[in-house]
Structure 1
Amino acid sequence: MKSRARPAPPDPRGVMCGQSPVSSLTFGPQETYKERPAIISGHESGQIIEWSITTQRAKVSWPGHTQSVIWLAWAVPDKLLSQGRDGMVRVWTQDKNSWTCIGEIPCAQFVFCDSAVTRWNNEIKLAVPSRETSHVDVHTLDQGRLLSQTSVLTPGDSLPISDLSHTLKPPSTETYGMCMRLCTFVHRSSGPRLLVAYESGTLTLWDLLGNVLLNQVKGHEDSIMAMDYGVNPNSDMITCVTGSANEVIKTWQIDKDTFVEGPSVSVTNPGISDIAVRGDGRIFATGGWDHRVRVFSVRKCSPLAVLMYHTSSVHCVCFAPDDTLATGSKDGYIALWDVYKDK
């Protein structure tokens, strides 16, 4: 019996051009995405652009940072967080058709390590790479204070957006090297956890609130360049996916605060820039140095599709609340894809 041929990968359903290389992406907040589908892009020029997905045109653009924008996320539905290589995480609020900065949190300069944010009880926990090598600063953004803050930041101001709670310090700076990637998740049986990937290839798991290193594993021989996680909807098992400068992509199940190595896969060309696990935890996408976007199943780490549109390194990938995949590249283009929405 002949097996069915795998369908040809789709073309992008939409393309947007931001001129400067695209360095980070996030879709509009889940709470408002259905009524107002939008995507926010960060660029190597420091610009941040809000796009309408309906018209695929830029709605507003503003200078967010003096260096490349390496991370974008939502603190609450109407407060955007951005991180630049200029050593600042900024908090933005929208007023009609403009965005204004209402606070800053210092972080490491000239690194490529992103920050991570999670909500816990009535607080928002923000983990940022510290200016001390291999350390992570954990800030508390008071939700009530954040929602009530409407004043605009001017140079030299220090608005009370956050408090530094504590700093996570691994046993040895020399052994671990620089922080490369951060991810936070909340497991209902254990509370907030923080995944930290290091320059040494070490992957660590921390109790975000208790300031305790729970576990670690030598994940890759090279620096871990990309990381994300997903939650199995049937078992609540956390799966972490990591990639590095070589061609191997690995998965790790996190069971009772312990890493268990899962399936891995090797791609044709080395260099993984970014990884995004879809919200249902079933598939993940990678952005490669070879200009390609690859889609895999989480459970078996088996290849599902190779998407080819970009003409330069794919710096960032992310999924929307409706499972649309967005990819951003050094070529300055953002592509929107419909892939495996029924998987």
Structure 2
Amino acid sequence: MSRPPPDPLFILRGSGATVNSLHFCCGGDGPPYLYSGSGKGAIHMWNLTTRRAERILESHSGNSVIWLYTLTDSRSRFVSQGRDLRVCVWDLSEGRSTVTDSLLTGSVGFCQCSLLESRSGGALLAHPTENTEEVSVVEMRSWTPVCTLKPDSKLGMLMCVKMWQMHDSIQMTNPGVSQLRIRADGKILATAGWDNNIRVFGWKKLKPLAVLQHHTDMVNTVAFSDHQDPPQRLLAAGSKDQRISVWSIYSES
């Protein structure tokens, strides 16, 4: 007989509403935290040592919080995205609970943003726009637009977007027949949604390098991974059709 599934390690109670987003913050000094965003705009900072909400932030005018991300340069800075059409940058240092900056995206959908930090301390943010089929990429320090990806035809609402930096340390062998071959200079971006397809863009390329057709229903999420042993780059996509497709990526110079 197979073993029964294990019970949770512990349960965190008191969110007060539907939990829509989660993000771990476990590096650096201090206890590990789990950030959660609720359907009523509350952001809880759960101390995973005490297993209690250390702070509760009321955000996004009471609208649902659909994405959270803590910046690596400081445990006291994080980014939230809400259904009030805004992305907010928070500063929690020295006991503050301050929104230091915000960006009006205009997006009324459920597509989460994606953030890509660089070694120099900069960060790029990819976010859906008021046109639910488009993705805009901005530089976070100044919200300067970098590029906007616009589809050639009506594709329906985007459900997910993901930016990714390919690691130079991965030494790929010659591509196999089943590998997705793309020409890119290190950064790529994937989008997916109502039209059931995954589109892979090279950096600042306004047309996709590849359109991956496999799923029979809406694609809700995508993820990237580098494997060192064996050397491999992977793209995974999860769909309403209850399947997860995993693609091997070969970057051509």
| TM-score exceeds 0.5 | yes
Asked whether 1:188 is paired with 2:167, we answer: yes
1:165-180 mapped onto 2 (5 Å cutoff): 165-172=146-153, 174=154, 176-180=155-159
- 1:36-92 CA-to-partner distances (Å, cap 9, x unmatched) read 211100001111110100011001111121321111112343320100111111100
TM-score (norm 1): 0.63
Q: Is the 8 A contact 2:107 2:131 kept in 1?
A: no
Relative to structure 1, the CA distance from residue 216 to residue 9 in structure 2 (aligned partners, 3 Å threshold; closer, same or farther) is same
Does residue 47 of structure 2 align to residue 68 of structure 1?
no
Report which structure shows greater RCO (CA 8 Å, sep ≥6). 1
Distance 1:93 1:227, change over 3 A: same
Partners of 2:56 and 2:49 lie apart in 1 by: 17
In the TM superposition, residue 99 of structure 1 has moved relative to its aligned partner by 2.0
Q: Is residue 31 of structure 1 aligned with residue 12 of structure 2?
A: no
Letter matched to residue 42 of structure 1 = G
Q: Which of 4, 10, 15 pairs up with 1:8? A: 4
Is 1:22 aligned with 2:3?
Answer: no
Q: How far does residue 6 in structure 1 lie from its aligned partner after superposition?
A: 5.1
The answer to whether the 8 A contact 1:170-1:213 is kept is no
Q: What's the counterpart of residue 79 of structure 1?
A: 77
Q: d(CA) in 2 for partners of 1:74 and 1:211?
A: 29
Task: Indicate how the Cα distance of structure 1 residues 235 and 168 shifts in structure 2: closer, same or farther if over 3 A, else same.
Answer: farther
Measure the CA separation in 2 of the matches of 1:193 and 1:236. 18
How many residues get paired? 231
Answer yes or no: is the 8 Å Cα contact 2:21–2:37 preserved in 1: yes
Report the residue type matching 1:166 in the other structure: C
Name the CA distance, whole Å, in 1 between partners of 2:216 and 2:9: 37
Contact 1:23–1:69 (Cα < 8 Å) also in 2: yes
**C-alpha distance in 2, partners of 1:130/1:235?**
38
For residues 78 and 68 of structure 2, the distance between their equivalents in structure 1, rounded to whole angstroms, comes to: 7
Q: Distance in 2 between matches of 1:230 and 1:25?
A: 20
Higher strand share: 1
Give the counterpart letter for 2:249 in structure 1.
Answer: I
Match of 1:213? 208
Distance 1:11 1:218 in 2: 38
Kindly indicate whether the alpha-carbon contact (under 8 Å) linking 2:19 and 2:36 is maintained by their aligned counterparts in 1: yes
Match of residue 95 from structure 1:
93
- Check the 8 A contact 1:75/1:117 in 2, yes or no: no
In 2: Cα distance, 1:21 partner to 1:252 partner: 33
**Counterpart Cα distance in 2 of 1:198 and 1:104:** 26
- Counterpart AA for 1:207: G
Structure-2 separation of matches of 1:121 and 1:228 = 21
Aligned counterpart in structure 2 of residue 52 of structure 1, from 23, 47, 68: 47
Letter in 1 for 2:151: P
Report if the CA contact (8 A) 1:200-1:221 is conserved.
no
Partner residue in 1 for 2:217? 222
TM-score normalised according to structure 2 size? 0.84
Q: Is the 8 A contact 2:166 2:226 kept in 1?
A: no
Deviation at 1:128, TM superposition (A): 0.3
CA distance in 1, matches of 2:201, 2:113: 15
How far apart are residue 191 of structure 1 and its match?
1.4
Cα distance per residue 1:105-135 (max 9 Å; x no partner): 1224321100000123532111001112311
Give the letter for the 1:50 counterpart. M
**Partner residue, 1:285:** none
1:110 aligned partner:
108
**One-letter amino acid matched to 2:139:** T
**Secondary structure, aligned partner of 1:15:** coil
Aligned partners of 2:108 and 2:130 also within 8 Å = no
RMSD: 2.0
SS of match in other structure, 2:28: helix
Instruction: Answer yes or no: is the 8 Å Cα contact 1:70–1:85 preserved in 2.
Output: yes
* C-alpha distance in structure 2 between counterparts of 1:205 and 1:169, whole Å: 13
Q: Which deviates more from structure 2 when the two are superposed, residues 131-140 or residues 208-217? A: 208-217
CA distance in structure 1 between the aligned counterparts of 2:231 and 2:164, rounded to whole angstroms = 12
